[in-house]
Amino acid sequence: MEEIRCGSCAKLLARGTAEMLEIKCSRCGTINHVRVKNPPSERPRASDSAQDTHGQDRRGASPP
């Protein structure tokens, strides 16, 4: 879990994860904008059962 703090006074504003968040600090009144720099990518897909990890066809002949 990530701590989200005010950019001006460093007050803890929230804990958690957010893709995009706008929150006003109750201490100093600064509007804080939080954005994920590198959003998590999609999970890798399962491999095709007919091919091994190197792209070789398991059914017999290798692809050209």
Question: What pLDDT digit, counting tens, does each position of 7-16 carry?
Answer: 999 999 999 8
Question: What pLDDT digit, counting tens, does each position of 24-45 carry?
Answer: 999 999 999 998 776 666 666 6
Q: What is the pTM of this model?
A: 0.55
45 lies in some domain: no
The rounded percent of the chain whose pLDDT value lies above 90 is: 44
15 lies in some domain: yes
Q: Which residues form the domain of 24?
A: 2-35
Q: How far apart are CA 6 and CA 29, in angstroms?
A: 9
Q: How far apart are CA 52 and CA 8, in angstroms?
A: 53
6 lies in some domain: yes
Q: Number of folded domains in the chain? A: 1
47 lies in some domain: no
